[in-house]
Amino acid sequence: MKGRDRTINILRLNPFINHSQVEVYWKELQNKSRVSFFNSWSWISCWLETLPKDSNLELIVVRSSNEVICCFFLGITQGIKNKFYKKRGYLNSLGDYHYDSLVVEYNSVLCKEGLDSEDILKRALDSLKDIEEFRLPLTVDINIPSDDYFKREETYQAYWTDLDKIRQESDYSKLISKNKRSQIKRSLKEYEKQGEVALEFACSLTKAKDFFTNLEELHQKEWTKRGEPGAFSNPFFKEFHSRLIEKCFNNNEVQLARVFTPKEDIGYLYYFIHNNEILFYQSGFNYKQSNLYRPGLICHYIATKACAEKNYLKYNFLAGDAQYKKSLSTNQDKLNSLVISRKTIKSQIEQLLRKVGGKA
């Protein structure tokens, strides 16, 4: 039965006051849906546990015949953005960069498979009449075809390597651009003057925590040198990931890797594991002055080959246009960040100003 054939009702819950009920709803629907790691209960539960308990966040629950068929979180803000005061809802995020620095990718709503998820989502948004604008960052498979909304869209690429191709080719370097292949070859030659270049996956939670500490140190050292704060300067970011590793490492949902020679660490990589896919999330590299050394390329090259040997399906670099992602990947996904505004006089004026300014 399609969503438009159903009578639905909407429930709005404070997830901090109603945590146990939220967990029941989310886990129940997760088992009936296609869900990314960023929308899994593993991620969501750590997020809720780390957020301030006074955060303006709601779980939107869509029910039909007493069955939960769809749910998603909305962070709700009120204020001026782009010269217009509005009440805004942010999908599975808070609308505050301090907390949204986690960056939720492959973002979506949980909807029972077999239903018309777009129609159900539209009807849910229609019912939230106090919210004038909805922001849906880095979404996948979400579209709101409607005459009732203005829609703006930005597209991002998420690059990934098909590990089956590596297994079939048996030589990953043949899948890489000639330029990057040459850089990797030269860099490996330099590192191998110190001895064998090796990779070690964390084999215990204790080792994973040690790797994470070392990754943070290298990451902050490099970004501070560039005059940037670095991801770990945000205490919320560090606390969340420390909690995620503690909670998920022994379930084989997160992993950390170290690439090294007998004389030094080359770098550390931090991954999520979901649906037999590797999702690269964060890194710390030991950069040198000479550009003969390419620690990032070497770490990803060695790690991608190791993941192919472990029979994972994909090595996903996630969203971003960094050249190394394009060069080391074989495929890409399209992620869309959407802004959906109700057609009010205010939003019509905003839309007109955008057209005049060339931003429509």
Q: Return the H-helix or E-strand segment holding 299.
A: helix 295-309
Amino acid at 230: G
Q: Where in the chain are the domains?
A: 3-148+343-356, 159-333
Confidence (pLDDT) at 2: 47
Phi, psi of 81 (to 5 degrees): -140, 130
CATH of domain 159-333: 3.40.630.30
Q: Return the H-helix or E-strand segment holding 316.
A: strand 314-319
Asked if the domains at 3-148+343-356 and 159-333 fall in one CATH topology, the answer is: yes
Q: Residue 286 and residue 293: Cα distance in Å, rounded? A: 9
Confidence (pLDDT) at 318: 97
Confidence (pLDDT) at 156: 96
CATH architecture of the region 3-148+343-356:
3-Layer(aba) Sandwich (3.40)
Structure tokens that stand for 215 in this block: 């990754």
Nearest CA among 208, 193, 206, 188 for reference residue 301 = 188
Each residue's pLDDT tens digit, 305-349:
999 999 999 999 999 999 999 999 999 999 999 999 999 888 888
Structure tokens that stand for 202 in this block: 């964390």
pTM: 0.93
* Burial profile 219-232: b = 16 or more Cβ within 10 angstroms, e = fewer: bbebbeeeeeebbb
* Burial profile 33-56: b = 16 or more Cβ within 10 angstroms, e = fewer: bebbbbbbbbbbbbbbebbeeebe
The three-state secondary structure class of 195 is: coil
Low-confidence ranges of the chain (pLDDT < 50): 1-3, 360
Each residue's pLDDT tens digit, 326-336:
999 999 999 99
Instruction: Specify the length of the chain in residues.
Output: 360
| DSSP per-residue letters across 42-83 | HHHHHHHHHS-TT--EEEEEEEETTEEEEEEEEEEEEEEETT
Residues near 221 by Cβ (< 8 Å), separated by ≥ 6?
none
Nearest CA among 125, 142, 143 for reference residue 134 = 125
Structure tokens that stand for 206 in this block: 């204790």
